[in-house]
Structure 1
Amino acid sequence: MPDDAVTEPEPIDLPDWDTGPRGWPMAAASLRATVDDPTARRATRLADLQNQVRCLIQRARQEKLRVLLGVLNRIDQEIDREHAQGSADLSRLNRLIRYFDRLVQHLQKTQDDTPEAIALYTGSTELPELLEDSLRRSGFGAHPIHLENPDPALLEHTGLLIYLARDTADHEREFTQLAELKKRMSACAQSLMISQRDDFAIRAAAVRAGIDHVITYPIDSARLNTLLTGARAYECDDEQITVLLVDDMATAGMYWRKQFARANVRLLFETRPQAAFDTAIAEQPDVILLDLYMPEMDGVDLARIFREHPQLSDVPILFMSTEERDQHRLEAKLKGGDDFLNKSIAGDDLIRMVRYRAQRYRQARAERRTDSLTGLLNHRAITSLVDSELDRAIRQEQPLSVVMIDIDKFKHINDTHGHPSGDRVIRRLSTLLNTRLRKYDGVGRYGGEEFMVVLPATEIDAAVELIDRLREQFAEIAVTTEAGDTIHCQFSAGVAGYPEHITPQEIISAADGALYSAKQAGRNQVMARHYED
């Protein structure tokens, strides 16, 4: 058998890796040792490596390590590509494993259950305080990068590149270097320039360099948080996307299922309109592909039905047909479609289009759910989360706690130190909540200086204890005002939940009542509202 022949991975005895953060460095070391093993044939190395990677994928899913899971999926896909095409030095595979190793190092260092996404910054050695806070809240870890000699492992897999443009910089030279960096980054990575200048020339130069967004001083925190939320949603390779294909030809489903499977796209296929509608409601796809002409109902009418449902009104709908008449295509778009694709489209081109549409949809959805000042869920999103988490708690027979938090004497803070200082206090509390709670806990800005926290599978007494610790930590945080003074702030909180209360409205009302009691009792404390109260 030739050295490059594809062999099925044989079962191997994998190391007895510990669970939790400590076990991942051993896993990363094992991957490096396997790919670098000079005594094994290339095909054997790839087979053994894929065996390990697929075991780690299962483990990452179990431990809910989304970022590690995304990189492991990319490594698995790259191994498939190497089996099919091959490269003498496995250079791209080595870079992916180096990137995985960096994330694992972060996991070990911080003991954080979810490694950060990476944001690279250049042009300055220091980050503005507002930018640093916003990156942290959005789930990005900031790493400096040199324009002259960037680390390819970081560059190729980063989700965001930030250029801090200085007045004294040689912008023409740096923009040329930035344009080269952009070519080496993932097609889904976003780029942002923060500039002390605001004129047509520098904006035009940024566009020529491929910079996606420009923010000028003074930094608009609302727009910055919106852009970071969108960039986080743009991480195309980390998560699988879901596509619903509706076509009366069963062979179409079989063909496209094979095409999408290799691109980390989950395909849902239906041949009948009613089943397609039910599937769309239940699965919430990122993109819908519709055949234009079907025997029971044409695609245009089905698209109108989708558009009328509130859960599907914004989902991208792409028609697929051999229809060539411009007037018919235009009518289809005007009645609910976003685009029109020929059925003969190449597989790779459809995958690119579907992924692009899904990313834009996810970005817009994330922005609609996000509070612009804090980057947390907004009022509508956090109250909707109470509803969905209550449904889950009832199905799984688990407790649920909801917390209402209000910053004490906030009006006095605004009146004494100004509204920008008040915004700083709000951002400090949002950062504390966002970084100290579990990834699956919900944190939102309910309105003004009031926040809501949703804690699944948490008894009320445990929630009170947790929020009380956060209250103590918040009181210790020093906030610098616009005038340069240092202030400390406090908050009060109320807790209620299921099964003591059985509807979303009852739970929120009870938590709000407990918050009122905490305020009446002297502020700076956490109180619970049980059913008998």
Structure 2
Amino acid sequence: MADERALQEALQRQLALLSEQFAQRLEGEFQALGVLADSLLEGTGDASAHPQLQPLRDRLHKIAGSAGTFGFPRLGEAARRLERQAAQWLEHFDADPAALQAFADEVRGLHTERLPARATPPEGPLVARRLAQGQSYRIFILEDDRVVGRNMELTLRNFGYDARHYDRAETFREACLGEDPDALIVDVHLGDDAEDGLALTADIQAHMHQPVPLLVITSDNRFDTWLRAVRAGATGFFGKPVNLTDLENRLERTFVQQNGDPYRVMIVDDDLALAERYALVLRSSGMRVEVQARPAQVLEAMRAFLPEVLLLDVMMPGCSGPELAQIIRFHDDLLRIPIIYLSAETDIARQMDALLKAGDDFVTKPISDNALVATVFARAQRARLLSAALSRDGLTGLLRHADIKEQVTQEVLRSARGSKPASVVMIDIDHFKRVNDTYGHGVGDNVIRSLANLLRQRLRRADQLGRYGGEEFVAVLPDCAPAQARKVLDEIRLHFSQLEFIDQGRHFHVTLSAGVAAVRATDQPGETLERADRALYAAKRAGRDRIHIAPDEDTDPPAV
């Protein structure tokens, strides 16, 4: 808590400094506006005789969009009112000398709206909750059927979670309040227990330091039960008998959303001071942010940074936001990225026109820090889920066949440019057909999912992992020689062989085999995979449950 307060205090100091710098910049803006206002009175006739109107409108628009964000809401409102008048005259000039004089007087008087109306320091941004760090997430299960609860506990343990089953409401409550679970799985109807699962959970969450994700299981699939689950804060709802693979998929998505890599956000705005303020707020909420001021450089920057959300100003010199958005939409590889317009434009027709051309949302400046974080977070979260759904295997959450092959290609290209070792590993579950034939495909899916989770947990973040097909997996390990890769995979092999699976009271174990091949600069991508595949089948022929390295790539004997 002390660290969090210190971070918030540091953020407030940085935001206050940016507001002071904005206030200093306003002095120059007021002088420029005064000069334009004075020259406005010299023209006669239509708008063409008043060339000062366009630069006046542009400067007023910028102040209208930024003043409130920096703590000067009255100044922003006054500038917005004058901007609308200037825009109206640019479309249809009908001002008489008295109206021009009054307008010029208001422009020159903008400085009086500044200091007296200084806003209070902006509130701290909304910070996404971070789960407890550790190798395993702690999942508490409340299920009064001991057989069902025990089976769920064992399966989730095989999936890599620290799962704990409770069959009584009292012991479940004590565990939740005495420890810090990362998620709860609760049955709605607890049999003879006097307490309802949802009511019990709502009471427990109210007494916890911070609510945790809730998954509901029940045999009651009526709409009223769904509604009660939503009102209790459930993030998942599963009918009985529960598909444990689907349930674990939901758990994983929940944890990835909360504790995954920081969301990547790009801001494109010619007002660098305002863009940097937005960036500071978003970075303080754990996001990675890059700022671009030149539209011509945005495409190259997007491909290098790979943003998950693009915040785009509407009015920029040389290229408007909607024009840039249409250019971005020319490129299929950038279609997944949501575009949010940030502008002081309040005309609904113009907002709709911008969205229809290209764009996903329109946010009017000024915007509060919390609203900015919430808007960007929601869009980035949705974009990441969509991207994962399109590029990830549905059962395991790993890269699909084509995507992991592309990672092998990229690693071969990197190897050609450098001298660091790298390895590609082909992994296969032993006698998997026997598992499916004996226990059924649902149990087989649990075995596949368990290995996928184990590989994900034991390999490094830099490693790439994909489901190659069926029960086969491919891992790409940069900066890792074959001997080291074999050592890592052998530890995974041993751990996997110790997992206990259960189906209708029948307990069994499964093993894996793997082949390791070094990435060679002279390889074609397919050649690396072929050598790893040959090493895998050498391991199979040698008796399975072992790791082999492709011949001539390591002098050590193969692990047994």
| Fold conserved between structures, TM > 0.5 | yes
In structure 2, the residue matched to 1:154 is 180
For 1:431 and 1:254, how far apart are their aligned partners in 2? 39
Shift of 1:185: 7.4
Is residue 205–residue 211 contact of structure 2 (8 Å, CA) maintained in 1? no
Residues 202-241 of structure 1 correspond to what in structure 2 (within 5 A)? Answer: 202-235=225-258, 240-241=262-263
Matched, 1:305 2:327: yes
2:547 paired residue number: 526
Give CA deviations for 1:35-61 in whole Å, capped at 9, x if unaligned: 9xxxxxxxxxx6xxx6xxxxxxxxxxx
For 2:219, the aligned partner's letter is Q
1:466 to 1:322, Cα distance in 2 relative to 1, 3 A? closer
- Cα 1:79/1:309, change in 2 over 3 Å: same
Q: Quick one: distance in 2 between partners of 1:460 and 1:384?
A: 20
Separation of aligned partners in 2, 1:287 and 1:183? 34
Match of 1:446, SS state, is strand
Structure-2 change in CA distance of 1:308 and 1:189 (3 Å): farther
Residue 459 (str. 1) matches residue 481 (str. 2)? yes
Task: Give the corresponding residue for 1:357.
Answer: 379
Deviates further, 165-174 or 363-372: 165-174
Q: Is the 8 A contact 2:351 2:362 kept in 1?
A: yes
Residue 216 of structure 1 deviates from its aligned partner by 1.3
Shift of 1:187: 9.0
Q: Residue 484 of structure 1: CA displacement?
A: 3.7
Q: Name the aligned partner's letter for residue 292 of structure 1.
A: V
| Residue 493 in structure 1 maps to residue 493 in structure 2 | no
Indicate if the aligned counterparts of 1:221 and 1:373 stay in contact, CA closer than 8 A: no
Note closer, same or farther for the CA distance 1:183–1:244 as it changes in structure 2 (3 Å cut). farther
* Range with bigger deviation, 171-180 or 317-326: 171-180
Aligned to 1:268: 290
**Which residue does the alignment assign to 1:343?**
365
Q: Which structure has the bigger radius of gyration?
A: 2
Which amino acid in structure 2 is aligned with residue 256 of structure 1? Y
On the 8 A contact 1:148/1:177 being kept in 2, the answer is no
How far apart, CA to CA, are the structure 2 residues paired with 1:417 and 1:256? 55
Residue of structure 1 in register with 2:429 after alignment: 407
Can you list the C-alpha shifts for 1:255-287, whole angstroms capped at 9, x where unaligned?
324443543344321121122222211112232
Q: How far apart are residue 493 of structure 1 and its match?
A: 2.2
| Structure-1 separation of matches of 2:144 and 2:11 | 38
In structure 2, what is the equivalent of residue 512 of structure 1?
533
Whether contact under 8 Å (1:382, 1:452) holds in the other structure is: yes
Residue from 273, 287, 294 that aligns with 2:316: 294
8 Å contact from structure 1 (residues 377, 444) kept in 2: yes
Q: 1 CA distance for matches of 2:413 and 2:5?
A: 37
The runs of 5 or more residues in structure 2 that have no matched partner are 15-126, 555-560
Which residue of structure 1 aligns with residue 75 of structure 2?
none
Measured after TM superposition, the shift of residue 351 of structure 1 is 1.8
Which residue identity is paired with 2:247? Answer: L
How many correspondences in the alignment? 435
In structure 1, how many angstroms separate the alpha carbons of the residues matched to 2:480 and 2:143?
45
Q: Which amino acid aligns with 2:255?
A: R
Residue 323 in structure 1 maps to residue 349 in structure 2? no
The within-5 A match list for 1:26-425 is: 74=4, 76-77=6-7, 80=10, 114-122=134-142, 127-130=149-152, 133-134=155-156, 137=159, 146-147=172-173, 150-151=176-177, 154=180, 158=182, 160-168=183-191, 174-179=197-202, 190-235=213-258, 240-390=262-412, 397-425=419-447
Give 1:294 shift: 2.3
**How far off is 1:428 after superposition?**
4.2
What's the TM-score once normalised by structure 2's chain length? 0.65
Instruction: Give the distance between the partners of 2:297 and 2:239, measured in 1 at CA.
Output: 50
Of structures 1 and 2, the one scoring higher in RCO (CA 8 A, sep 6+) is 2
Residue 188 to residue 484, structure 1, CA distance change in 2 (3 Å):
closer
The AA in structure 1 aligned to 2:479 is A
Which shows bigger deviation, 518-527 or 455-464? 518-527
Q: Whole-Å Cα distance in 1 between the matches of residues 267 and 193 of structure 2?
A: 50
- C-alpha offsets along residues 208-259 of structure 1, whole Å, 9 cap, x if unaligned? 22322201122224432331232012216x7543321111223322432444
Aligned-pair identity in percent equals 32
Separation in 2, partners of 1:169, 1:81: 52
Residues 1:386 and 1:202: Cα distance change in structure 2 (over 3 Å): same
Give distance in 2, aligned partners of 1:319 and 1:188: 33
Q: Deviation at 1:508? A: 1.8
Task: Encode CA deviations 1:148-180: one digit per residue, 9 max, x unaligned.
Answer: 89539837xx4x343233442779854345345
Deviation at 1:300, TM superposition (A): 2.1
Q: CA deviation at 1:368?
A: 4.1
- Aligned-partner Cα distance in 2 for 1:246–1:359: 20
Q: Report the secondary structure of 2:334's partner residue.
A: coil
Take 1:140 and 1:391, find their aligned partners in 2: how far apart are those partners?
40
Q: Which runs of 5+ in 1 are unaligned?
A: 1-34, 36-45, 51-73, 85-95, 105-113
Q: Which SS does the other structure have where 1:154 is aligned?
A: coil
- Cα displacement (A) at 1:512: 1.9
CA contact (8 A) 1:401 1:497 kept: yes
* Alpha-carbon distance in structure 1 between the residues aligned to 2:420 and 2:201: 51
CA RMSD of aligned residues (A): 4.1
Contact 1:494 1:526 in 2 (8 A): yes
